[in-house]
Amino acid sequence: MRTTERLLLRPFRAEDLPAWAELNADAEVMEFLGSPLTREQSDQIATAVNRRHAIDGTGFLAIERLSDGAFLGAGGLQHEPWYPDDMELGWRLARRYWGNGYATEAALSWLAYAFTDLDLPKVISITDAPNAKSIAVMRRIGMTFDHEAELEEDGTTFSAVIYSITPNAWRGLT
């Protein structure tokens, strides 16, 4: 678990699962993440996330607002099949929590963990090319454009942009 000024980043709890499924079923939230997910798919992701976190301290953990315990979404570090040697930083928040700086705050905490605890040489973030909101978060946390790629997920190809940050660049921000 990690805390920031306003957030607790922690494994999923049973009481998170309905809200997690709701945000994963929201077509606007999932616009650049494939198609909306079923409750069963969302529950499977939460179980896998908790398992990964127990093994190595990484994963797409639940994001809770400290002031009231609200479940906001999830974010964290994970390996993606397209770049198995890199850790990818990602986030997914319920739409009603967009625009409050929560994704940026959580992402900055994960970068600190990546570079101080895990001693990673680089962290990447991947999104669909038209996902301006995620690209804005990437830039706010100090990531810079790395490259474009055509990636495939579940048989569908999409145009992706990959941003990255190194420990030296991150230290220059702190």
CATH number for the domain including 129?
Answer: 3.40.630.30
- What does the pLDDT profile of the chain (174 residues) look like in tens digits? 899 999 999 999 999 999 999 999 999 998 888 889 999 999 999 999 999 999 999 989 999 999 999 999 999 999 988 999 999 999 999 999 999 999 999 999 999 999 999 999 999 999 999 999 999 999 999 999 999 999 988 788 889 999 999 999 999 886
**What is the number of structural domains in the chain?**
1
Residue 73's domain spans which residues? 2-173
pLDDT tens string 58-81: 989 999 999 999 999 999 999 988
Q: How confident is the prediction for the chain on average, in pLDDT?
A: 94
CA 20 to chain CA centroid, Å, is 14
